[in-house]
């Protein structure tokens, strides 16, 4: 019994841990471990977890605490392990969410075509940002639920897969994620960092690039707060032994020309067929990942290898193989990947199709991505509550680009939905006079952070 009482005196109780953090003190590795273990085993009361989350939100954590928090969350469940011959080749990217962000659908197969292994565990859409899993589920038969053994088989045969978080991966995150929402502690740097990096850490990656968005249509409205998050993510990722870099990119308009689910799958397939818009064909993130794995020595060389994989059709074949490996019928996958295909013979089409026309002449100064996403969300393309169904066929395609001259009555956008679309869509497009054209052409990527 002596040992037992010693153990008791060394261990702070959960209320003591909460008090310690509430009073602004640093938690030791052991104390953080105790907290996360209690969360995972459900031996802590929900109100205590909520109180600890609020204490962390109020007082923050130093880098060492955040690394420990993330590591404990990561090891709260199963951690993937890969064959030795894949050493250095297992890579992934994570985006903090944007409008029309279909980059993963192009990036995963392109990286697989360059000999990387991409075990992408992705998320669903919530609020106005779309989720990669929702987009893929607009393809009939595509199954995002794959057990870990199956993920390894798909990576061996294809090289990439895009799946949802399984029950066994990072269970502590699932509990904390739900409670953060309920306790208004979502926007805390250590908690966001822990949530993102623990899931990526459980993939046992060699290299990771984070695409941290800032701007009107992003979670972070300004560059500085996005940069703070990027630095925290990079520091903790590297602290877990993953080579980690972050790209800061602006998110005021949309990525590509399409926003929705089915329409974004079509745009991704068109990009893989070599007909993509410029911003989707900018392979900065992929190039950086190839550089980090050592497959190439310089970023431009990395971008060129990815570009070659897309132009040659190698990335498209990987996407087709991935669809088949994840449950899509072979004919369906072949048809989606063939040139000049009729996508809507496979993907669901909405009842209403409406073309918007420009109401004035001028130059397209701005496309308000947030405004567009929120309207499509109301039309059924998104969800307000986790687990709610969405309508994959709702979407919009922009027919004009920034800086383009338009005349009154030009076609500006097509919208598909089950109910007639709302007139507010006109407000998403902002026209101006010639004088200001310079301001609207901007590069998306602002900087890369590697340490």
Catalytic residues: 92-95, 132, 180, 195, 199-200
Residues 6+ apart with CB under 8 A from 284: 247, 299, 303, 445
CA distance 320 to 429: 35
Rounded to 5°, the CA angle 273-90-296 comes to 70
Contact call for residues 142 and 148 (beta carbons, < 8 A): no
Instruction: Please choose, from the candidates 71, 72, 14, the residue with its C-alpha nearest in 3D space to the C-alpha of residue 43.
Output: 14
- End-to-end Cα, the chain, rounded Å: 48
Contact call for residues 100 and 127 (beta carbons, < 8 A): no
CA distance 38 to 12: 13
Distances (CA, A) of 268 to 106, 258, 260, 415: 6, 10, 12, 18
Residue ranges of E strands in 222-266: 243-250, 258-260
What phi and psi values does residue 33 have, to the nearest 5 degrees? -60, -45
Residues 6+ apart with CB under 8 A from 5: none
Tokens of 167: 């029950």
Instruction: Please choose, from the candidates 289, 414, 308, the residue with its C-alpha nearest in 3D space to the C-alpha of residue 357.
Output: 414
DSSP 287-331: HHHHHHHTSSSSHHHHHHHHHHHHHTTHHHHHHHHHHHHTT--HH
Instruction: Please choose, from the candidates 94, 70, 76, the residue with its C-alpha nearest in 3D space to the C-alpha of residue 38.
Output: 76
CA distance 333 to 141: 10
What phi and psi values does residue 139 have, to the nearest 5 degrees? -90, 120
CA distance 451 to 442: 26
């Amino acid at each position: 019994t002596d040992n037992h009482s010693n153990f008791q005196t060394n261990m702070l109780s959960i209320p003591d841990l909460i008090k310690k953090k509430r009073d602004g003190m640093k938690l030791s590795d052991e104390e953080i471990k105790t907290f996360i273990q209690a969360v995972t085993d459900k031996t802590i009361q929900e109100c205590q977890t909520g109180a600890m989350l609020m204490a962390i939100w109020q007082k923050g954590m130093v880098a060492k605490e955040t690394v420990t928090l993330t590591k404990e969350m990561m090891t709260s469940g199963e951690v993937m392990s890969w064959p030795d011959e894949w050493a250095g080749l297992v890579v992934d990217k994570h985006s903090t969410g944007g409008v029309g962000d279909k980059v993963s659908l192009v990036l995963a197969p392109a990286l697989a075509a360059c000999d990387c292994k991409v075990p992408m565990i992705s998320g669903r859409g919530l609020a106005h940002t779309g989720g990669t899993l929702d987009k893929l589920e607009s393809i009939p038969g595509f199954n995002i639920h794959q057990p870990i053994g199956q993920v390894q088989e798909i990576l061996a045969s294809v090289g990439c897969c895009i799946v949802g978080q399984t029950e066994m991966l990072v269970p502590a995150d699932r509990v904390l994620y739900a409670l953060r929402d309920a306790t208004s502690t979502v926007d805390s740097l250590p908690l966001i960092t822990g949530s993102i990096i623990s899931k990526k850490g459980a993939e046992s990656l060699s290299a990771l690039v984070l695409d941290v968005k800032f701007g009107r249509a992003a979670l972070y409205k300004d560059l500085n707060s996005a940069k703070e998050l990027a630095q925290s993510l990079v520091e903790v990722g590297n602290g877990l032994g993953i080579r980690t870099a972050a790209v800061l990119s602006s998110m005021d308009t949309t990525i590509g020309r399409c926003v929705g689910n089915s329409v974004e799958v079509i745009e991704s397939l068109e990009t893989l067929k070599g007909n993509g818009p410029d911003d989707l064909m900018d392979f900065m993130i992929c190039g950086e990942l190839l550089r980090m794995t050592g497959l190439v020595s310089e970023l431009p060389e990395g971008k060129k290898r990815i570009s070659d994989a897309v132009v040659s059709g190698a990335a498209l074949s990987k996407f087709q193989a991935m669809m088949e490996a994840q449950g899509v019928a072979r004919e369906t996958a072949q048809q989606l990947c063939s040139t000049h295909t009729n996508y809507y013979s496979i993907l669901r089409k909405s009842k209403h199709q409406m073309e918007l026309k420009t109401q004035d002449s001028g130059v397209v100064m701005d496309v308000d991505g947030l405004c567009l996403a929120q309207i499509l969300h109301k039309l059924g393309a998104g969800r307000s509550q986790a687990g709610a169904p969405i309508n994959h066929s709702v979407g919009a395609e922009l027919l004009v680009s920034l800086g383009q001259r338009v005349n009154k009555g030009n076609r500006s956008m097509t919208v598909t939905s089950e109910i007639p679309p709302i007139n507010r869509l006109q407000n998403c497009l902002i026209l101006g006079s010639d004088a200001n054209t310079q301001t609207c052409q901007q590069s998306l990527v602002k900087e890369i952070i590697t340490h």
